[in-house]
Chains A and B, each alone.
Chain A
């Protein structure tokens, strides 16, 4: 397993070092294969992921839904703290580590989000944003079935996030897989509103999702203050 991880990490590193980017226009050299992936994703999402997420929202008690979200968020907060440090944003990092301590200790391993009740904001930093902060470009855009839009840079960050998650330390494989599964459902459930909006609003959903994703990430890297886009004319 660890060899597998190393291979994945090396692949991403190679892709990352090979990447170049032109700001403004989406950098999508793999567009033809990405579009194939997008086409593969559509029925998978429509007939499997989306119905499961919808059932989760409709039939599972809100308390359980909330607990799963909180568990995932608690781990995100831990990584947000680390990334806050990596970017020298000490206030944010302090908030995030404080949240993790409070929620992991008093909030039953993160199942209850006491820190938010106490008004401590979430930093929402991640590895992709840190790489961006360090000046590493997005690199080629990628669309991964059942995962969604990403780039070489952000994807590398997501892989690190999964590999280094405390969840991997849970010895029981079955429990670990249940946690991964619930986390995935939670993630898809959060996006239910967004996907119906995309269907309604877009002329070509592929282009629409790509631009929305890249804009969103740019905004996050700059903490909500991206440099103004150059006008085309």
Chain B
């Protein structure tokens, strides 16, 4: 029963409407994307991008930074990461210091990721199903990186539900938590000269090696 409306079949119209509905649903679902789905999507996206781009594989720093800024960073909550790494020192820092800490720590992590990113091009990721209460707002998403001829490396992501979707606040590589590791580093700097000393050290670190 195909009725023609000005050269358009109703079946075709139905398909268009259905497609629109799907698009709307997809956008809606996207905002509520489950944390494990998000991790898989982002990781696959980054891997596909690296594999398709010889510039990235050759280590073109500007391209690498672009990929990190556009694809990875929006999924991280840097304020939370910095606050957790600071531990109880966070509340002693002034808002201005906190802002500088977030900026500098973010820059340091971006630099570190830039160096490590292209090492992952030949690797396969294995995504573990998320075992968490659907109502949970703080979960750990587990993944495994398979490397040829070497033991797999477990990479877990600590994620928190926020108003703008799930955000990563810790990365745990083979049991080594980024936040915990930096907490010692930060504590030491603060012990040796306060929060300003930590900011100074972070700045020096970021300027020092970014020049190379």
A interface residues, Cβ below 8 angstroms from B: 26, 66, 69, 122, 124, 190, 193, 196-197, 200-204, 207-208, 210-212, 215-216, 218-220, 224, 226, 229, 232-233
A233 near B185 with CB under 8 A, answer no
Interface centre among A190, A196, A200, A203 (most CB of B within 10 A): A203
A203 near B189 with CB under 8 A, answer yes
B residues 95-131 touching A (CB-CB < 8 Å): 108, 111-112, 115-116, 119
In the complex the two chains form, what is the Cα distance from A216 to B175 in whole Å? 5
Describe B's contact surface by its main secondary structure: helix
Q: Which of the residues B175, B183, B205 comes within 8 Å of A219, measured between beta carbons?
A: B175
User: Can you give 7 A-B contacts (C-beta < 8 A)?
Assistant: A124-B151, A197-B112, A197-B116, A200-B115, A204-B188, A216-B175, A224-B154
Q: How far is the CB of A207 from chain B (nearest CB, A)?
A: 5
B87 near A212 with CB under 8 A, answer no
Q: Which of the residues B112, B176, B188 comes within 8 Å of A200, measured between beta carbons?
A: B112
A202 near B88 with CB under 8 A, answer no
Q: How far is the CB of A109 from chain B (nearest CB, A)?
A: 18
Describe A's contact surface by its main secondary structure: helix
Chain A residues lying within 8 Å of B189, measured Cβ to Cβ, are 203-204
Does chain A have a CB within 8 A of B180?
A: yes
Interface centre among B154, B176, B183, B209 (most CB of A within 10 A): B176
Q: Which 6 A-B residue pairs are closest in the complex by CB-CB distance?
A: A219-B175, A232-B87, A201-B112, A233-B88, A211-B184, A215-B176
B202 near A122 with CB under 8 A, answer no
A202 near B175 with CB under 8 A, answer no
In the complex the two chains form, what is the Cα distance from A216 to B209 in whole Å? 27
B180 near A229 with CB under 8 A, answer yes
B180 near A203 with CB under 8 A, answer no
Chain A residues lying within 8 Å of B70, measured Cβ to Cβ, are none
User: Apart from A204-B189, A211-B181, what 6 extra A-B contacts exist at CB < 8 Å?
Assistant: A203-B188, A204-B188, A208-B184, A211-B183, A233-B87, A233-B88
